[in-house]
Structure 1
Amino acid sequence: MKIIDEAASLTRWGLNHALPRVGIQAGARRGDLQARLIMATSTGSDSQAGGGLPLDLFEEVRASGALHKSAFAYVTATHPVVKEVLGSPDVHAGVDFGTGGLLGPVRRWADSSTPIGPLTPPSLLSVEPPEHTRYRKLVTRVFSVKAVRGLQDRTQDIADQLLDDLASSDDETVDLVERYCALLPVTVIAEILGVPHDQRDKVLEFGEGAAPSLDLGLPLGRFRAVERSLRAFERWLDDHIAAVRRDPGDDLLSQLVLAQDDDGVELTDLELKATAGLVLAAGFETTVNLLGNGIALLHEHPEQLELLQEKPDLWSRAVDEGLRSDPPVLLTGRSIVNDTVLGGREVPRGSVVTTLLAGANRDPDVFADPQRFDVSRENADQHVSFSSQLVWTVEGPRDRRDPRGHSMSHVSPKAAFGQWIEDVQASAQLHPGVEHLESTLEHLRRSAVTESVDRQFAVSRLGDLAQEWPLGAVEILEYVLRDARWPELETLLREVRSGAEDFRHRDLARQVLEVYDEDWPAGEIYRRYR
């Protein structure tokens, strides 16, 4: 059995890392733009000033067109196209290598023994409806907005204590990544998972060991070390989940263990392990990078730090500017699941698109003097460092102005109006909490007042929403029209009202109010239907 497991592991490495890397290296030697980008972002070659980012290659990609076709995939560094890709219903997260062709049977055999990871079933990132719907409903009932908001004070306490420890240290120099950037997220994650204090070093070890699991082209030794870490974490979770079942606590994992759907069905141990693994994978390395990059930027630009000390109200912009200038994730791959048009170009099903998040964040058509780090930049919050697709994080919705996360991502009204509507539409269909409604309503109101969206497009998207969720459309329209007078919206409101007199969403209202605080501003919308 050990020999078979080793053979399967070696096969996974060969198919998912060795062969792609050989192809990429060959493509880079031929001058293929995307191959050069992948090599630059993985090895540091071809990098220029700007936090080690391959800025010259970003410019080459933009100069080659809105959506460049390389030998391996489509690639874009153009801000509007990146947002289009990330928000398209024809695009799914991750890159599907497929199980067809001559190597299909071999890949299926090798993948059957893959350790649980952030992109392996039953991760929320890898399963599709209807299973995804059932699974996510249970997870988001526990990882609700209210629950995540409850972590904020504790997170602040942990951050303060770590900084106090550094201030009282006798060491002349300290490794901030080791002593602060890594300890902050791992401590919060440990509390979410109910990890005993004497085992929290293990969680840090697992997080560091499994961090490269999403990287491409790993050397064999590194790949094996990652798989060992993932398997060790899985074995530890087996024991931990069993202990939680015997003696649940107040932590979120304990609540998840006890959660049941409407039919009284609980999450399986495999689903619980996948969720815990996703919390660790999604919350650890990206937060370490976010904090570390931000600290480095302020160290390299002391005049910006002085400005923040003089004007602390700029910290919100500073967080966004740090994410824009040096994001924790440089690029992300997406699979095309339906024939579509992106960036004005036809893209067939089965294609792969690489979105250069770091490149889009430096698009000169969106950000003036994009290579400059400026904590007072007014539109820094238009960065795409957290992406903008319809993906529900287990930690709850993220506020792009605050990496602690507690509300919907703050994005450009004109560029994202359709995305807000799709968020609400998906919420109405898939999730009883409709988590993003409060922020959605506020952004719709603001965009209507400032007339910063295309009215025809806005009316079209609200019309689509009305077909799926008429009562929600009525309330959104009424909310927006409190401060803006759009004849088109007023007409649509009259049309929708005539077909929205039934109260079939009464159960939805009841469930929403169970999730949110009574003082939730948008709660009034639902109390009418309770």
Structure 2
Amino acid sequence: MKTWIRWAVINGLPGVVLRAQARRGNPLAQYLTDPAAREDPYPFGDRIRARGRLVAIPYSYVTADYELCRTVLRHKDFGVTPPEAFTVFKPVQRLIKATDLKIASPVEPPAMLMVDPPVHTRYRKLVAQAFTPRAVARLRDRISEVTTDLLDDLAQHENADLIEQFALLLPIAIISEILGIPAEKRDDLLDAGHAGSPLLDIGISWKTFRTANDALREAQDYLVEHIAELRANPGDNILSDLATGGELTDTELLYSAALIAGAGFETTVNLIGNGIMALHQHPEQLDLLRAEPARWPGAVEEILRYDSPVQMTARTALRDIEIAGVRIAKGEMVALLLGCANRDPKMFDNPNVFDVTRANAREHLSFSSGVHACLGASLARMEGAVALQALYDRFPNLRVADAPQRRGLLNLRGFQHIPVSTGVGARVAAG
């Protein structure tokens, strides 16, 4: 009953309200509820920008303006938005707090994503050691080794699914090693991450909510055991350092582990999958990359800009503030459509064109900005560049063989399946 009540106040009731608001022309509600946004969110961003830089809607604001999104993300007077902030009704807020399921979710406090400085500063300082440029550079050889092994396996198949057999497996292998999680537990981590991903959307079904929380609870039970084992027998990994350092409480440590585990592969899977489809749809860009392979890192930035793995976030005013000529009261929320902001023509020329030579592609907001900028951005960039270049070098005749299937999520934008022909059979026959 407690789980159902929590779903009802976080998703069920907001879903009803959003659908009603969408019918009344609320642009954010239309974006959040229209199935077309899951296929192509970017026209919704164009419509919102046409209404102004900062659009007032009931109880909050929304923007798809690049400069304004970046300003809010970096502004000290805006903080993260916990679940209870999505309603202005105090009784509902109290009910949300009263139905805390005590599950280590990466999208609820005290996860690092959902706390502000100075608490966030303390978490980030401890976790950042695993993602410094030097630490990430040391992982390059391992990323290349795992990529080669996966491509060796793909070479045994004329037909394959590049999500299940490649894009998923590379980042989960790397983040598992960073956390000291053994190979035999990776599938469980994958299942938990996939099941928990819909929690970043608003208005999800009761069945999806229950499944997500059941999966996160199972993952939490494992992480508690895993952390205890690392305390007794530490290894060379970030979770061992955090577990034995004594600077995080047990709850903080558990939530940090859940966040690193989930964020460490979900967005990278989407980056690789979205990149495969962008290159499939723009073969002339792939030809350019084959002719000039030094452009691959820049291509990854353009993939991130063109089809962001994370589409939106929100910030709440910590005090009364005026921004873009609008007075925002303390406690009011601003929804930031990051993926749509990456298509803002005031920032990016011809923003709907996929161009791997784009000079300012790296200015995208796909890794957020400010104090909450993604810690694993350097790792994701490296994994994306290594994986995509190696894939197309190894399989020059690779082609998408059937209709790809999207995940059906709004915020974490990516693919569930990308069926391909590797071209292996043709090459063998020719040989």
User: Is the shorter-chain TM-score for this pair beyond 0.5, marking a shared fold?
Assistant: yes
- Counterpart code for 2:327: E
Which of the residues 11, 15, 20 maps onto 2:9?
15
Change (3 A) 1:179 1:33: same
CA distance in structure 2 between the aligned counterparts of 1:15 and 1:341, rounded to whole angstroms: 30
Deviates more, 1:82-91 or 1:267-276: 267-276
Change (3 A) 1:145 1:311: closer
Tell me if the contact between 1:152 and 1:404 (Cα under 8 Å) persists in the aligned partners: no
Tell me what 1:368 maps to. 349
Tell me if the contact between 1:364 and 1:370 (Cα under 8 Å) persists in the aligned partners: yes
CA distance in structure 2 between the aligned counterparts of 1:151 and 1:114, rounded to whole angstroms: 34
Tell me what 2:229 maps to. 243
- Counterpart code for 2:62: V
> Does residue 326 of structure 1 match 2:307?
yes
- In the alignment, structure 2 segments of 5+ residues that lack a partner are 386-431
Tell me what 1:177 maps to. 163
Change (3 A) 1:305 1:31: same
Relative to the length of structure 2, the TM-score reads 0.83
Tell me what 1:461 maps to. none
Tell me what 1:32 maps to. 26
Tell me what 1:309 maps to. 290
Tell me if the contact between 1:386 and 1:400 (Cα under 8 Å) persists in the aligned partners: no
SS of structure 1 residue aligned to 2:370: coil
> Does residue 93 of structure 1 match 2:73?
no
Tell me what 1:487 maps to. none
CA distance in structure 1 between the aligned counterparts of 2:136 and 2:294, rounded to whole angstroms: 24
SS of structure 1 residue aligned to 2:53: coil
- Counterpart code for 1:8: K
Tell me if the contact between 1:143 and 1:252 (Cα under 8 Å) persists in the aligned partners: no
Tell me what 1:501 maps to. none
- Counterpart code for 1:117: S
Structure richer in strand, relative to its length:
2
> Does residue 227 of structure 1 match 2:213?
yes
| CA shift for structure 1 position 355 | 1.1
Change (3 A) 1:173 1:198: same
CA distance in structure 1 between the aligned counterparts of 2:235 and 2:381, rounded to whole angstroms: 32
> Does residue 188 of structure 1 match 2:188?
no
CA distance in structure 2 between the aligned counterparts of 1:389 and 1:134, rounded to whole angstroms: 16
Relative to the length of structure 1, the TM-score reads 0.68
| CA shift for structure 1 position 143 | 5.0
Change (3 A) 1:58 1:333: same
Tell me what 2:52 maps to. 65
| CA shift for structure 1 position 227 | 0.3
Which of the residues 249, 254, 259 maps onto 1:273?
254
Tell me what 1:122 maps to. 110
Q: How large is the Cα RMSD of the aligned pairs?
A: 2.3
SS of structure 1 residue aligned to 2:216: helix
> Does residue 217 of structure 1 match 2:211?
no
CA distance in structure 2 between the aligned counterparts of 1:316 and 1:140, rounded to whole angstroms: 22
Tell me what 1:149 maps to. 137
| CA shift for structure 1 position 267 | 2.6
SS of structure 2 residue aligned to 1:44: helix
Change (3 A) 1:388 1:142: closer
SS of structure 1 residue aligned to 2:48: helix
| CA shift for structure 1 position 96 | 4.8
Tell me if the contact between 1:363 and 1:370 (Cα under 8 Å) persists in the aligned partners: yes
Tell me if the contact between 1:95 and 1:334 (Cα under 8 Å) persists in the aligned partners: no
| CA shift for structure 1 position 144 | 4.3
Higher-Rg member (1/2)? 1
